[in-house]
Amino acid sequence: MSDFLQALKAKNPGEPEFIQAVTELYESIIPVLDKNTALRKHNILDRIVEPERLVTFRVTWTDDQGKVQVNRGYRIQMNSAIGPYKGGLRFHPSVNQGILKFLAFEQIFKNALTGLPMGGGKGGSDFDPKGKSDAEVMRFCQAFMAELYRHIGPDTDVPAGDIGVGGREIGYLFGMYKKLRNEWTGVLTGKGLGWGGSLIRPEATGYGNVFFAENMLETVGQTFKGKRCLVSGSGNVAQYTIEKLLQLGATPVTASDSSGYIYDEKGIDTKKLEFIMDLKNNRRGRIAEYADAFASAVFVPVDAKLDYNPLWNHKADCAFPSATQNEINGKDAQNLINNGIQLVSEGANMPSDLEAVNIFLSNNILYAPGKASNAGGVATSGLEMSQNSLRLYWTSEEVEARLKAIMRNIHAEALATSKKYGHERNYVVGANIAGFEKVANAMIAQGVV
Ligand code: NDP
Ligand code: 2IT
């Protein structure tokens, strides 16, 4: 292992996801570091892995039984070289500093790839929204913002949603920010339509991922028509991935949540997708109910004894992991390959572990890392910021056209960069180097700060 990675590990104990994310980027950029002496002179590598600022705070709120609850809140302001810190908030019991640091680190390069002026950040809490009443979620969001508000602002740091944070939570967070600051500004993205939100922002991550995958298929003269697709997750990203796949003539056959997955051999059609959206967004139920509602589907519960996820062991052409980090391990990747997978495009952040990534690359399938393929969400957040600053709204056609163009540019840039560095069609190398160069050049230009 390199001295750099060894020192990183020693300095960031107990943060395996952060080490994993940095390792993947570092291995891609070695040729750039070797060639560019300015990067070494300005010690960009050691600087870029250190958060500019990391805030952690107590969040105290009262549950419906009158009991006082305590959670831990975080905001990681990772890099502001090319714009205000930008990135989501995650509310999930697994949230810790290492997970948020990996997400904030990925966000730096993803945001750079969009071509919009956004730095990298991430935040959240170990709060678990599952099973909480609306009133409890509101009180938690208000307590969270009562501290966070002093660290953010439309030109400083602009949070958005991620796992466990959707339109409802953004509404409560925004309301509290506005009350505390007495100021209506675009300080959060993912706001509701009619109070500053952008059309297509809810759809953007899933749609963007499918656009990216469509661009990859184009390079081999293919389309989505008739392709069977595996999708994991059943939240925001998964839902709109399925929607766009249907519009393009593909057949999505799976969806999942943390209790298991459904496999629908006839395919998830528009009506069945409506069922999933109502189940997850309104009734907040479990995906198992899908198999009760539709005879063509089976539900497979999570089996902790297995060292692979059977969702990835079905015959399919394309896969869209859209739940969480490290949901595809080496065995899953091999199962996908054995079942003839042609394309894997990541909706989630870092859903494939390092072994899985290497298996995809060595089998020469079309493989898109999340920082390129899921950038449509944050890109459309950037478009929401632009609309808020202009104090006007664009139509859904206009926003979707811009999103599509941004995804096309990211694809073209990652592909061209992979070629330039002698790894043609390796989108990992292409995206990592293209994102890194933009941020590193800005850091060099701005001096040692
Ligand atoms: P949601 O909260 O809307 O949905 C998350 C989905 O993933 C749910 O089905 C959830 O199941 C499942 N899930 C979450 N954690 C786990 C886990 N530990 N094990 C198994 N299943 C799990 O989140 P999003 O759809 O917004 O986010 C999904 C992924 O996409 C994340 O990796 C996120 O970082 C990434 N992403 C999101 C963007 C956005 O704009 N929202 C943008 C770019 C990336 P359950 O309900 O049972 O917990
Ligand atoms: O991981 C991500 O890119 C997001 N959760 C979206 C971030 C944003 O600011 O829209």
Ligand 1 lined by 324 (C-beta under 6 Å): yes
Give the domain ranges of the chain: 49-184, 204-364
Query: What are the CA-CA distances from residue 34 to residues 58, 109, 303, 412, 427 (Å)?
Result: 43, 20, 45, 25, 20
Catalytic residue among 101, 110, 122, 191: 122
| Dihedral sign, Cα of residue 335, residue 339, residue 343, residue 348 | negative
| Sequential DSSP letters for 155-197 | TTEEEE-BTTB-HHHHHHHHHHHHHHHT-----SSSPPTTTTP
Tokens found for residue 308: 């692979």
CATH of region 204-364: 3.40.50.720
| Dihedral sign, Cα of residue 161, residue 164, residue 168, residue 170 | negative
Ligand 1 lined by 161 (C-beta under 6 Å): yes
Nearest CA to ligand 1 atom 22: 258
Please name the residue that has the structure tokens 């960069």. Answer: 417
Residue to mutate (ligand 2; options 79, 106, 381; most atoms within 8 A of CB): 381
Ligand 1 lined by 209 (C-beta under 6 Å): no
Tokens found for residue 174: 């925004």
Nearest CA to ligand 1 atom 44: 348
Q: Report how far residue 318's alpha carbon sits from residue 340's, in angstroms, rounded to the nearest whole number.
A: 9
Q: Report how far residue 420's alpha carbon sits from residue 414's, in angstroms, rounded to the nearest whole number.
A: 10
Instruction: Kindly give the number of the ligand 1 atom that is closest to the alpha carbon of 351.
Output: 32
Phi, psi at residue 254, to the nearest 5°? -135, 160
pLDDT at 1: 77
Q: Report how far residue 100's alpha carbon sits from residue 122's, in angstroms, rounded to the nearest whole number.
A: 6
User: Hey, what amino acid is at 434?
Assistant: A
- C-alpha closest to that of 174 among 195, 200, 150: 195
CA 367 to ligand 2 centroid distance, Å: 21
Q: Report how far residue 376's alpha carbon sits from residue 354's, in angstroms, rounded to the nearest whole number.
A: 23
> Is-same-fold flag (49-184; 204-364)?
yes
Rg of the chain over all Cα atoms, to the nearest angstrom:
21
CATH of region 49-184: 3.40.50.10860
Mean pLDDT by 10 residues, the chain (449 residues): 95 98 98 95 98 98 98 99 98 98 99 98 98 98 98 98 98 98 98 98 98 98 98 98 98 98 98 98 97 98 98 98 98 98 99 98 98 98 98 98 98 98 98 98 97
CA 161 to ligand 2 centroid distance, Å: 6
3-state secondary structure at position 283: coil
| Sequential DSSP letters for 37-63 | HHHHHTTHHHHHTS-SEEEEEEEEEE-
Nearest listed ligand to the Cα of residue 88: 2
CA 34 to ligand 1 centroid distance, Å: 37
Q: Is 122 noted as a catalytic residue in this protein?
A: yes
CA 87 to ligand 2 centroid distance, Å: 5
Nearest CA to ligand 2 atom 3: 378
Q: Report how far residue 265's alpha carbon sits from residue 250's, in angstroms, rounded to the nearest whole number.
A: 13
